[in-house]
Amino acid sequence: MKPLVSVSVVTYNHKNYIAQCLDGILMQKTSFPFEIILGEDASNDGTRAICKAYAEKFPDKIRLFLRSRKDVIKINGNPTGRFNMLENIKAVKGKYIALCEGDDYWSDPLKLQKQVDFLEANTDYGICFHKISVFNQNKRMLEQDVITRSVPETTTITELAKGNYIHTPSVMLRNDFKIPHWFKKSPLGDWTLYMIAIQDRKIKKLEDVMAVYRQQDNGVWSGKSRKKRMLMTLKSFTLVYENVGLDTVAHENLKREIKQLKAAFKKSYGFKFNLKDKLKKIIYPSYRSIKSLIKSSKD
């Protein structure tokens, strides 16, 4: 039977966490079939063996894909999990896609059912997400989420254009979008994916806390310095600004965010964006367009 939901799990060196991640998905109580697309990115810490064991134990639920490090996509010279993510999305069969990275986990067995029920009843919504808890890995304790921007229960791309407020393990998307070729260049894979997928539909936030985001010093995002996070955000915002068809308000919101990020970065680090070609290439996919953007923002 074709699954209604495909859960994409990307994992790399998550030996201590992947079992909890998979258990949180497998415990879901649903009135519909769902599948787990498990992409293992050639870990060197024993994660692959755990994934194989789960796939063998739950062959009706888990489709395991063993990736190779030779296929890793580098962004700004750094290896990423983008190839793994892209291949997982290509493999999904469901009407809906849910995401959970290998070091996060779900805490509510009715999570999928609640999100599907809402999206099935509200076709004008393209994304459904929910509140999360934060597990502070250093303190080894659950904390209230104070790192996420607060938004109304219903938003649109105009609000999302101001920046991300959707945690990866909380999201469910309609599987009716196409991934453009430039997506692999964007450092912020999750936010960029949402901007591509949402189109002209609405976004729903459920108040239930149904997943846990693991915050740790070596995380893909939390492990980066403020400087690197700002550069990653600038590049992703610029890619979306250049390539995604935005309405007027979203267009202006994103342009304003880019301008403010540029000013904040210059104030903190004294960096002038028009100095070195090498830095232009690192930060922007198209320097001419961002130069035009900055000029127009002054007019």
Question: In the numeric block, which tokens belong to residue 273?
Answer: 């964006």
- Give the tens place of pLDDT for each residue, 34-91: 999 999 999 999 999 999 999 999 999 999 999 999 999 998 888 999 999 999 999 9
User: In angstroms, rounded to a whole number, what is the distance separating the alpha carbons of residues 221 and 228?
Assistant: 9
pLDDT at position 276 over 60: no
pLDDT at position 178 over 50: yes
Per-domain residue ranges for the chain? 5-215, 226-298
Count of CB atoms within 10 A of residue 99's CB? 25
User: In angstroms, rounded to a whole number, what is the distance separating the alpha carbons of residues 21 and 169?
Assistant: 10
Average pLDDT over residues 117-138: 96
pLDDT at position 281 over 80: no
Asked whether 100 and 22 are in contact (CB, 8 A), the reply is no
User: In angstroms, rounded to a whole number, what is the distance separating the alpha carbons of residues 2 and 93?
Assistant: 7
DSSP character at residue 227: H
pLDDT of residue 251: 95
- Give the tens place of pLDDT for each residue, 212-234: 999 877 666 666 788 888 999 99
Asked whether 149 and 167 are in contact (CB, 8 A), the reply is no
**Residue of higher predicted confidence among 280 and 214:** 214
| CATH classification number, 5-215, choose in 3.40.390.30, 3.40.190.10, 3.90.550.10, 3.40.50.2000 | 3.90.550.10
Residue with tokens 């609405």: 202
Query: What confidence category does residue 272 fall into, taking pLDDT thresholds of 50, 70 and 90?
Result: low
- Those residues whose C-beta lies under 8 Å from the C-beta of residue 282, and which sit 6 or more positions away, are 76, 231, 235
Q: What is the pTM of this model?
A: 0.89
